[in-house]
Amino acid sequence: MAGPRIQRYCAAMAKKKRHKVGVAPDGTKLLVRNRRATHDYQIHETIEAGMVLVGSEVKSLRDSHASIGNAYVEFRAGEAWLVGATIKEYPWANQFNHDPERDRKLLLKKREIRRFITRVEQRGFTLIPLSIYLKDGRIKVELGLASGKQLYEKRDASREADAQREIDRAMKSHRTNGP
């Protein structure tokens, strides 16, 4: 059982938005985050999926040497594939290394795949990876069903974020300086 100090640290790391790697209170370790996803897309629904990986990919992911900024999910023959994700080669794998740009099969139930295929084809959504994390010793990817944001929506979102940042600064200075 983790002590209260460690629990507070893990909770603080989970709350930080800019922190790339951290251990959440439920034991998951964030390996890679797609920061562009929430800026460029509106996320309507999320789902967790497994990935078929080779050993050197797992080692490289554990060191957070990956990029999912341009990745998306493609459906082929009733299976889901992660396309465009880059997992760097593991330096100590030598001849047993993997291709960094290869497509990776996602592990989803047939019912989930059918549901997402219809939503992607009929309604103009896309399925994108939001993050890759380690959960109970297994590497998982969080997928988001997303639709693209218009330019004015992006501007509104950045304006709201700036306003919230100013409010937080004012509140912090008020707390430290007193009334």
> What rounded mean pLDDT belongs to the chain?
81
Q: What is the pLDDT at residue 55?
A: 83
Helix (H/G/I), strand (E/B), else coil: 4: helix
Report DSSP state, residue 136.
T
Compute how many other C-beta atoms are within 10 angstroms of the C-beta atom of residue 108: 19
Cβ atoms of 13 and 23 closer than 8 Å: yes
Cβ atoms of 142 and 47 closer than 8 Å: yes
Cβ atoms of 33 and 17 closer than 8 Å: no
- Contact partners, residue 108, CB within 8 Å, separation at least 6: 47, 49, 80, 116
Q: What is the pLDDT at residue 7?
A: 62
The answer, yes or no, to whether residue 18 has pLDDT greater than 70, is no
Each residue of 90-136: pLDDT tens digit?
Answer: 887 777 777 778 898 999 999 999 999 988 887 778 899 999 998 88
Per-residue pLDDT band for 1 (boundaries 50, 70, 90) equals very low
pTM (2 decimals)? 0.69
**Residue ranges of domains in the chain:** 20-148, 150-179
Q: What is the pLDDT at residue 17?
A: 45
Name the burial class of residue 169, with classes exposed (0-12), middle (13-18) and buried (19+) by CB atoms within 10 angstroms of its CB.
exposed
Q: What is the pLDDT at residue 48?
A: 93
Q: What is the pLDDT at residue 111?
A: 93
The answer, yes or no, to whether residue 13 has pLDDT greater than 50, is yes
Per-residue tokens: 109: 């139930």
- Contact partners, residue 1, CB within 8 Å, separation at least 6: none
Q: 20-148, superfamily in CATH? A: Small protein B (2.40.280.10)
